[in-house]
Amino acid sequence: MTMAMTDTETNKGFIDVRDMGVTFGANDNKVVAVENVSLNVQPGEFVSLIGPSGCGKSTLLSIVAGFVKPTLGEALLDGKAITKPGSDRGVVFQQYSLFPWLSVRKNVEFGLKMAGVEQSKRNTTARALLDLAGLLSFENHYPDQLSGGMKQRIGIVRALATSPQVLLMDEPFGALDTQTRVVMQEILTNIWQQFRISVLFITHDIEESIFLSDRIYVMTARPGRIKAEIKVPLPRPRRAEMTDTPEFMNLVQELKGLIREESLAAMAPEIKDRGLSGFGMKVGPKGVGEIF
């Protein structure tokens, strides 16, 4: 048994979000981003969060990561309240977030360096992880020399270098083309199966969420609430061919129905208020800036 395995067996990496509410701004500018959200990720579980744009997915993730403090409720990791960012939670951002001034290997080593691990050990670990990501031959390149998919793969293994108990991912493949996305999803399931850590994964891609997850939370339009919780009973390891099976299709249909309702709900007020002006046909008295 490896150490990584024992970690999950001792039930580490349990995310528990309780009665969460987040409000930005005050008075007239007040935005209720998230309202009364409770969700959890069991140790070693892969959970996706899916919902229309602006429903507060990133906000929720920022709270678990420790960047934002909730207005109401609490977020716990293994029973302890989350107050600030830390290397027990790896985060992969939607934007590319590699340090451009560090080589690929130094990027992966960064977390270990912050933890005071000595150079030779950092080096070994980083090379093992780069090998896992299929990018060992690029260890001395700079991030600007890599493609988007390669950068995100390195972003993932960089977040894993400090062996966090959970991995938080905010639409990590959002900027990639469809083919690269599919490949990245397979790489991610592979890596996840080796590390067996809890993952909270944000996406707006229905197929992606089904392919990757054990469980999916669907959020409502803003203010974001949990609309539904769906279990994905597909066997593992997942293979690309599974996306053609009837079980997979049924899940897609079910989720599509749920999401469509919410997307319409998210757009409805604007469409009702402005008619076609919302599509640039006619500009209101305050100009276009008001619409977009």
Ligand X SMILES: Nc1ncnc2c1ncn2[C@@H]1O[C@H](COP(=O)(O)OP(=O)(O)OP(=O)(O)O)[C@@H](O)[C@H]1O
Residues near ligand X (CB under 6 A) are 24-25, 31, 33, 53-59, 204, 222
Q: By C-alpha distance, which of 89, 82, 61, 86 is closest to 166?
A: 89
Residue (30 or 84) nearer to another protein, CB: 84
Q: 274, exposed or middle or buried, with CB in 10 Å at 0-12, 13-18, 19+?
A: middle
Among 10, 38, 53, 95, binds another protein (CB under 8 A): 95
CB atoms within 10 A of CB 17: 22
The answer to whether the CB of 49 falls within 8 A of the CB of 60 is: yes
Q: How far is the CB of 159 from another protein (least distance, A)?
A: 7
In the list 116, 233, 235, 289, the residue contacting another protein (rule: CB under 8 A) is 116
Nearest C-alpha neighbor of 131 from the set 174, 194, 180: 194
- For residue 56, the partner it binds in Mg ion, ligand X, another protein, none, with Cβ less than 5 to 8 A by kind, is ligand X
Write down the least CB distance from residue 40 to another protein, Å: 21
| 3-state SS assignment for residue 133 | coil
Strand partners, 15: 41, 77
Residues that bind another protein (CB under 8 A): 2-4, 7, 65-67, 84-87, 89-91, 93, 95, 97, 99-103, 110-117, 121, 124-125, 127-129, 131-138, 140-147, 149-150, 158-159, 161-163, 183, 186-187, 190, 194-195, 240
User: Which residues would be at the binding site for Mg ion (CB under 5 A)?
Assistant: 58
